[in-house]
Amino acid sequence: MEAILAVIIILMIAGSIYTLHARDLLSAVISYGITGFGLVICFLLLKAPDLAIAQLVVEIITLIIMIAVIRISTRKDLTEKTTIRVEGERYVNLRSVVYFVTGGVFILGFLYFFIQATSVLDPFGVHSVRMASVYIEQGVDLTGAHNLVAGVLFDFRAFDTLGEATILITAVIGVLTVLRLKGKK
């Protein structure tokens, strides 16, 4: 189980690295699909079928929207070369050096603190249910729903769902405002 998940996550990492390094924006978006569909398989293996259905369709719609954006703009990427050529001689591009050093410092710092923090967590596969023990033991009696996720989502933590609906409609209104057809005169 752990080995299969590790292989899938390594595949997702490879896909995302290619996403960031592709010269063509269309191939970058399509290889971004590797990450999303790998996530669907991970959800299925981790016993979360609700999430797998939602993530599958959301991934497809995201891909369609991104391709629509790239079709009406340009496909050319702006990746900078690490060496520049001035009058026949090669020089190292100082700006890319600054980029990579900044990224490396951030990444090493975050990785250090994450490894410090993971030592507190339970190891994979052993999970001590603290918050959700009431939901698991008495969820069916209290809500009457056989799907415990629906019970948590719409009964125990319904305020969270209300906030989610508010955020969703706000984002849609924001998209319509930004993409308004005729500007105000």
Partner 1 sequence: MILYILCFILFLVGLFGAITRRNVIKIVLGICIMEYSLNLLLILIGYMEDGVSPIVVKGGESNFVDPLPQAMVITVIVIGLATTAMLLAIAIRLYKKHGTFDIRQIKNLKG
Partner 2 sequence: MTNIVKTISRFMSGVVFFFGVYLLTNGHLSPGGGFAGGTVMAGAFVLMVLAFGDNIMHLRKTKEGSTIIENLAILMFLLFAAAGMWLGAKVFFHNYLDIGVAGKLVSAGTIPLFNVFVGIEVAAALFTVFLAFVIFKEEEQ
Cβ 77 vs Cβ 25: under 8 Å: yes
Whose structure tokens read 């995302």? Answer: 16
Question: Contact with partner 2 (CB under 8 A): which of 181, 183, 184, 185?
Answer: 181
Residues 44-103 binding partner 2 (CB under 8 A) are: 49-50, 53-54, 57-58, 60-61, 64-65, 68-69, 71-72
Nearer to partner 2, 18 or 154 (CB): 154
Give which of 34, 52, 53, 35 is closest to 43, Cα–Cα.
52
Residues 132-151 binding partner 2 (CB under 8 A) are: 140, 143-147, 149-151
User: What mask of x and - would describe binding to partner 2 in positions 150 to 169, judged by CB under 8 A?
Assistant: xx-xxx--xx-xx--xx-xx
**Phi first, then psi: what are they for 145, rounded to 5°?**
-100, 130
16 beta partners: none
Give which of 45, 41, 39, 54 is closest to 150, Cα–Cα.
54
Nearer to partner 1, 88 or 138 (CB): 138
Q: How far apart are CA 163 and CA 166, in angstroms?
A: 5
- Please give the residue ranges that form the binding site for partner 2 (CB under 8 A): 49-50, 53-54, 57-58, 60-61, 64-65, 68-69, 71-72, 140, 143-147, 149-151, 153-155, 158-159, 161-162, 165-166, 168-169, 171-173, 175-176, 179, 181-182
